[in-house]
Amino acid sequence: MRAVDLIVKKRNGYEMTREEIFFFLRGFSEGTIPDYQVSAWAMAVLLKGMSERETCDLTEAMIESGEQLDLSGVVPFAVDKHSTGGVGDKTTLVVLPIVTANGVPVGKMSGKGLSFTGGTLDKMESFPGYRVDLTKDEFLKQLKEIGIVLSGQTEDLAPADGKLYALRDVTGTVPSTPLIAASVMSKKIAAGAQGIVLDVKVGLGAFMKTIDEATELAERMIDIGTRFGNKVTVLISDMNQPLGNAVGNILEVREAIDTLMGGGPEDFREHSLVVAAHMLVLAGRSTDVDEAKAMCARSLEDGSGLEKFRTLIRAHGGDVQYLDNPDMFPTASYVETVDSWESGFISEVHAREIGLGAMTLGAGRESKGDPIDHSVGIVVHKKVGQIVEKSEALFTIHSNDEQSLKNAIERTTKAFKFSKSPVDELPLFYRTILS
């Protein structure tokens, strides 16, 4: 078999056999098929697609490129969540504590942020000392002992996915439905998940621009999950505007803490409750999403979720004083609030523009490995559908240098659009698809 023949086959729109997919992935992992051929193949896949069978074979080949975690002796049922990436998406910080507070242990592996989407690990690293590099044994021990872990993906889980994602990121081949589906599901299955809640984002700040595209991705991932014997729930959620108000690591952590204390922005609280409720249902803790949501809401009101968050931070070596006194977190040197220049209804808060604005302030990274600044970011004070009066606060920029502050103000200003007539609020969720 020759790699070039397989590239040509895919380029011409033909289906690859299981053997061909495994040959290609193995060659890539072992370095016998070079990056330039894999890049050409990824572009052919992006343009010509893959059948469901090919996507499942690709997922399996990625899982088999590394080790698989077996959580069966550690938790009664391994439930996990994954978001396809958004702006202001700090959901995991609230969901994990409230799910575990309801008696369902969760060991989650997460990623660092890239481009305009933030990463959960970056947010957790806002707590000085928080370790995201637990070994496999540490991960399993902590999950068994305290029932909550939030760490980085160990390098031996689906390594072919990590390598392929890095290539896709620099060759314009990220937004391919089969490649995203195989990437997400290979990581989750390799990490031992039996039940997975997938939060598929759609809109201006997401890979998927339409509900139909997001639904196609959802169905692909459900198909993969079903073939691997997993229970999968997909929530298709809005990412036209940021989730909650804060974008940027410490700002988002503080918003998550407020939410765990029973406050926080209404949209973010509701989003977190729905994701958590579906996890409880998958884990068999409840048979009804509304009942599960009420259980999760109680964990926000009675402080049990906050206590689990404290347990998590302490177990990872993080300084819990910051949880009790968030004013200890460092703040940016320039904090400037911009007032609205119009009166009316907000019709757009462009998620991607806000995410890129936060990234250029230093909250995110352009390339893997870039350092980030935890204290900077953007807080939006108005969301789509809300009324704003001229001179009312619209957004606040947190920056550590003057030029970036100016650039971010300019960019964020363009992210807002207004309407003289009433505008509907954006829905939080568009569809729920169960396996």
Q: Which residues are catalytic?
A: 82, 161, 168, 183, 187
CB closer to ligand URA out of 24 and 165: 165
Nearest residue to ligand URA by CB is 183
Q: What is the DSSP string of 130-190?
A: ------HHHHHHHHHHHSEEEEEPPTTBSHHHHHHHHHHHTTT-S--HHHHHHHHHHHHHH
CB closer to ligand URA out of 184 and 190: 184
CB closer to ligand URA out of 84 and 100: 84
- Distance in angstroms (rounded) separating the CA atoms of residues 204 and 393: 23
Q: How far is the CB of 144 from ligand URA (least distance, A)?
A: 26
Spacing of C-alpha 207 from chain mean position: 12
CB closer to ligand URA out of 74 and 109: 109
In sequence order, the 6+-apart residues with CB closer than 8 A to the CB of 54 are 15, 16, 21, 178
Q: How far is the CB of 2 from ligand URA (least distance, A)?
A: 27
Residue whose tokens read 């970056």: 122
Q: How far is the CB of 181 from ligand URA (least distance, A)?
A: 8
In sequence order, the 6+-apart residues with CB closer than 8 A to the CB of 83 are 89, 91, 92, 198, 199, 201
Residue 15 is classified by DSSP as P
Q: How far is the CB of 165 from ligand URA (least distance, A)?
A: 6
Residue whose tokens read 């690709």: 58
Q: What is the DSSP string of 122-139?
A: HHHTTSTT------HHHH
Q: Which residues bind ligand URA (CB under 6 A)?
A: 84-85, 165, 174, 179-180, 183-184
Q: Which two tokens stand for residue 380?
A: 């939006």
CB closer to ligand URA out of 96 and 179: 179
Q: How far is the CB of 33 from ligand URA (least distance, A)?
A: 19
Closest CA to 105 of 149, 169, 168, 157: 149
Residue 91 bridge partners (DSSP): none
Q: How far is the CB of 36 from ligand URA (least distance, A)?
A: 20
CB closer to ligand URA out of 235 and 281: 235
Q: In a 3-state reduction of DSSP, which class is residue 56? A: helix
Closest CA to 138 of 319, 316, 307: 316
Q: How far is the CB of 394 from ligand URA (least distance, A)?
A: 31
- Distance in angstroms (rounded) separating the CA atoms of residues 42 and 163: 12
What distances in angstroms separate CA 79 from CA 109, 274, 289, 293, one per listed residue? 12, 15, 15, 16
CB closer to ligand URA out of 220 and 285: 220
Q: In a 3-state reduction of DSSP, which class is residue 205? A: coil
Q: How far is the CB of 115 from ligand URA (least distance, A)?
A: 11
CB closer to ligand URA out of 113 and 362: 113
- Distance in angstroms (rounded) separating the CA atoms of residues 60 and 55: 9
